[in-house]
């Protein structure tokens, strides 16, 4: 725990490019190390006595459980703070919530709607803020995704990935992660659902060169990795009818995989089978979605270690 009068400012993780290339690879290396430690039953209580606050404005299975379990394995503790269980839900300003939490906990992971809200948390926090998903970004997911690709492709060099579907929060952070690590990325979205131009520009500044297209087959052909996510993200439920229509042709199905017979199929989960991906693909031999889910645990522990040790 630090106080808001400390001179040293904490590092925050609001999106993937808050890490340098070197730092990102160090986190991925540490994630591998933690994975081995769990598999071998080795003690690794690196955050003994430390506490993570976990603020949620949206639902979660993987993020909540992987952060909480991760803190337990690291010898620390995590506190679930649902918006409606704390005074935030009754109108306490976020900046006050942030300053109060900073006086108790060692880091805060937050899942919120507006990306500006994690920026406000960071501005007023004297402890690290970790983005556990906003409408614009999901950088913790990207850490696990890169760890998973690295495992399945035996490294990140000469890997070609195809994003098929909505240019959403998961896609945007993934684009930055690919740029930082040298993964060649093609993004296929329907018109009107592209990754933000500002994010593509950031990816280019990091040395990436993402290709964009409206043709899912063009993106998928001979890719090493095919990645998709829901067409209707949390908070977009009212757009369901329009989106279901607009995303026609973007389903990751056995037909699409004929163009990429060697590809690993990724999905951050939860999946809406029959919409962006078919049941047989989720359950099929090319699917690595549960390795991705597992790696949330290892990658986030590595991130927390980097932020807190
Ligand atoms: N992928 C992911 O963030 O899952 P949850 O919404 O279950 O946390
Ligand atoms: N794009 C999805 C990801 C869920 C983990 C959403 O924001 O709902």
pLDDT in tens, the chain (309 residues): 444 445 568 999 999 999 999 999 999 999 999 999 999 999 999 999 999 999 999 999 999 999 999 999 999 999 999 999 999 999 999 999 999 999 999 999 999 999 999 999 999 999 999 999 999 999 999 999 999 999 999 999 999 999 999 999 999 999 999 999 999 999 999 999 999 999 999 999 999 999 999 999 999 999 999 999 999 999 999 999 999 999 999 999 999 999 999 999 999 999 999 999 999 999 999 999 999 999 999 999 999 999 998
Cα separation, 132 vs 2, in Å, equals 21
* In the chain, where the domains are located: 16-137+296-307, 139-293
Q: Cα(first)–Cα(last) distance of the chain, in Å?
A: 12
List the structure tokens of 248. Answer: 């026609």
Q: Which fold has domain 139-293?
A: Rossmann fold (3.40.50)
Q: Which helix (H) or strand (E) holds 168?
A: none
Do residues 112 and 57 touch, judged by C-beta distance below 8 A?
A: yes
Distance between CA 45 and CA 232 in Å, rounded? 39
pLDDT value at residue 309: 82
Q: What is the architecture, at CATH level 2, of domain 16-137+296-307?
A: 3-Layer(aba) Sandwich (3.40)
Single out the residue of 96, 93, 125, 130 nearest to residue 110, CA to CA.
130
Ligand 1 lining (C-beta closer than 6 Å): 60-63, 133, 141, 268-270
| β-pairing verdict for 107-111 and 51-56 | parallel
Residues with C-beta less than 6 Å from any ligand 2 atom: 133, 168-170, 229-230, 233-234, 268
- Calculate how far, in angstroms, residue 293's C-alpha sits from the geometric centre of ligand 1: 8
Tell me which H or E stretch contains 264.
strand 264-267
Q: Are 10 and 307 in contact (CB under 8 A)?
A: yes
Q: How far apart are CA 293 and CA 269, in angstroms?
A: 8
Task: Give the other-Cβ count within 10 Å of 77's Cβ.
Answer: 16
Same fold for the pair 16-137+296-307 and 139-293: yes
Euclidean distance between CA atoms 211 and 247, whole angstroms: 19
Output the CA–CA distances (angstroms, integers) from residue 127 to 2, 13, 307, in the order listed.
6, 11, 9
Measured between alpha carbons, how far is 14 from 29 in angstroms, rounded to an integer? 20
Q: Ligand 1 centroid to 39 CA: how many Å?
A: 23
Q: What are the catalytic residues?
A: 111, 138, 141, 229, 268, 296
Stated length of the chain: 309
Residue entry with tokens 């994630």: 31
Ligand nearest to the CA of 228: 2
From 234, 240, 296, give the residue whose CB has the most ligand 2 atoms within 8 Å, as the site to mutate: 234
């Amino acid at each position: 725990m630090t106080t808001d009068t400390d001179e040293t400012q904490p590092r925050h993780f609001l999106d993937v490019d808050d890490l340098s290339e070197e730092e990102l690879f160090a986190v991925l290396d540490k994630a591998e190390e933690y994975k081995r430690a769990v598999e071998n039953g080795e003690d690794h209580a690196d955050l003994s006595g430390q506490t993570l606050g976990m603020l949620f404005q949206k639902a979660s299975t993987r993020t909540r459980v992987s952060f909480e379990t991760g803190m337990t394995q690291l010898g620390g503790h995590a506190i679930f703070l649902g918006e409606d269980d704390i005074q935030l839900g009754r109108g306490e300003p976020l900046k006050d919530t942030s300053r109060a939490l900073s006086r108790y906990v060692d880091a805060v992971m937050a899942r919120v709607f507006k990306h500006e809200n994690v920026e406000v948390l960071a501005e007023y926090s004297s402890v690290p803020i970790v983005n556990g998903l906003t409408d614009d970004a999901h950088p913790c997911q990207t850490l696990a995704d890169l760890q998973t690709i690295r495992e399945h492709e035996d490294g990140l060099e000469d890997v070609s990935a195809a994003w098929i579907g909505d240019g959403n929060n998961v896609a945007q952070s993934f684009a930055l992660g690919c740029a930082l690590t040298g993964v060649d990325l093609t993004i296929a979205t329907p018109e009107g659902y592209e990754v933000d131009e500002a994010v593509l520009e950031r990816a280019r500044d990091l040395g990436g060169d993402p290709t964009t297209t409206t043709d899912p087959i063009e993106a998928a052909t001979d890719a090493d990795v095919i990645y998709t996510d829901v067409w209707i993200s949390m908070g977009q439920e009212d757009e369901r009818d329009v989106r279901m229509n607009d995303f026609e042709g973007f389903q990751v199905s056995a037909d699409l995989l004929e163009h990429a017979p060697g590809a690993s199929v990724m999905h951050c989960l939860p999946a809406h089978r029959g919409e962006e991906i078919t049941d047989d693909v989720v359950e099929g031999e090319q699917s690595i979605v549960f390795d991705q889910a597992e790696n949330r645990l290892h990658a986030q522990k590595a991130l927390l270690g980097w932020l807190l040790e």
